[in-house]
Structure 1
């Protein structure tokens, strides 16, 4: 772990230097994500201007759910965005072979090969949303609750990574799984709103099959007293560990099935 931590820090510093060489591109990327996120939040505000609550959930509660989702996504977006590219950038042109001949874990190398600056915009927006919503939730934000919140946000990010890794691994069989991965990832948009507004089939899908509910709704609901989902929200770290374990096991299966496509 120490060796890989040191290696990742070297990769990360290299990426930051590259991004700072093109500072305008960096800030344009960050601001574009900020503007996109603000558009979505504006839509939520317009909806709540017309209604008092959404099936019992107030504006700041929905804003808090949205903030948790955005923070979790930012972790995935900044550090693990290269998972999207495994099919079309590595396997199809034959570039994955070079990862296999390096004396480090190929999944680590794939992840460390890229840092996505746009994710910093999501991180900023997520922080602002949570800062705006937290004073209105009736929660005493002491050190314990803040630590629990941090653990749940990191767990949210881990679940995003696990789901993306699982579907990206399909590229070992179909060369490019980007359309499938993108379709699955879009389901996470449902989890940015209270899951009890959806049909029970969608709730089950986003809870136990593709656990995006644990990236936003359930961890946020753990701090909302009337939600009735505190216990479910508190098992988010366990769901994250299981999801990452299953995704990595599937990755290992895919790795054994890999055949180089050449260039």
Structure 2
């Protein structure tokens, strides 16, 4: 109850702050839409030269991209830790965090909230409905529940991987460029993994499991039965990676030496 209360208090203060600058909020929303539109245009350009991509048609890949946007929106909202090394380790703000009687990772998540990123989920749902209607997909009564489970699992996959990467800073506190590189690698998880070679497919499934964010769960709703097992592994992989990341974080905090001389 204490952590839940803290979450809502942070959200309340965040909303008060953001609505003081409504123009900035609108600009951020517009830039996100522009970025998503560019990715959709890329897909359309690819299918302007071919009708199938290793057996996948245009609407299926657009549906997959739309699904990806939903867990990615949750991740962007609650796990905005791309500058953890620079802000909390190099500049020493983690010292402030550690003086408070609440888990350090939870505090950082609350401090870095970006609730406007949830608007990306609306865009993703709209893209899914559009492509799903063109594909003639049927919806069963249990699909919304599976969708929610898959989305949460995908967001935990992303969160777990990037928390683990942030933990590197506890042992190597110099400025690093690993986080931006990993963001670029994660974009490979937006598209069917069977268009890549076996090595990349293995990495995106078991090492950096970004395929569980969009590809595998979306394949379930697209009726790709050969990938059903992977789809139902999504929440399992998400929980495993997130728990491992928290355990690694706890060990890293013990190794933290502070920002003193």
Aligned to 1:110: 108
| Greater mean deviation of Cα atoms: 131-140 or 234-243 | 131-140
TM (norm. structure 1) is 0.94
| Structure-2 separation of matches of 1:149 and 1:78 | 19
CA contact 1:31–1:121 (8 Å) conserved in 2: no
Aligned to 1:18: 17
| Structure-1 separation of matches of 2:8 and 2:30 | 25
- The Cα shift of 1:142 comes to 2.8
| Structure-1 separation of matches of 2:244 and 2:130 | 36
| Structure-2 separation of matches of 1:108 and 1:225 | 37
| Structure-1 separation of matches of 2:180 and 2:17 | 27
Structure 1: stretches of 5+ with no match in the other structure: none
3-state DSSP of counterpart to 1:50: coil
| Structure-2 separation of matches of 1:177 and 1:200 | 33
TM (norm. structure 2) is 0.95
CA contact 2:90–2:175 (8 Å) conserved in 1: no
For the aligned residue pairs, the C-alpha RMSD in angstroms reads 1.6
Structure 2: stretches of 5+ with no match in the other structure: none
3-state DSSP of counterpart to 1:260: coil
The 1:57–1:94 alpha-carbon spacing in structure 2 relative to 1, beyond 3 Å, is same
Aligned to 2:37: 38
| Greater mean deviation of Cα atoms: 252-261 or 198-207 | 252-261
**Correspondence 1:153-192 to 2 at 5 A:** 153-176=151-174, 179-192=177-190
Aligned to 1:230: 228
The 1:60–1:178 alpha-carbon spacing in structure 2 relative to 1, beyond 3 Å, is farther
In the comparison of the two structures, how many residue pairs are matched? 261
| Structure-1 separation of matches of 2:252 and 2:194 | 36
| Greater mean deviation of Cα atoms: 71-80 or 114-123 | 114-123
- The Cα shift of 1:196 comes to 0.3
CA contact 2:158–2:213 (8 Å) conserved in 1: yes
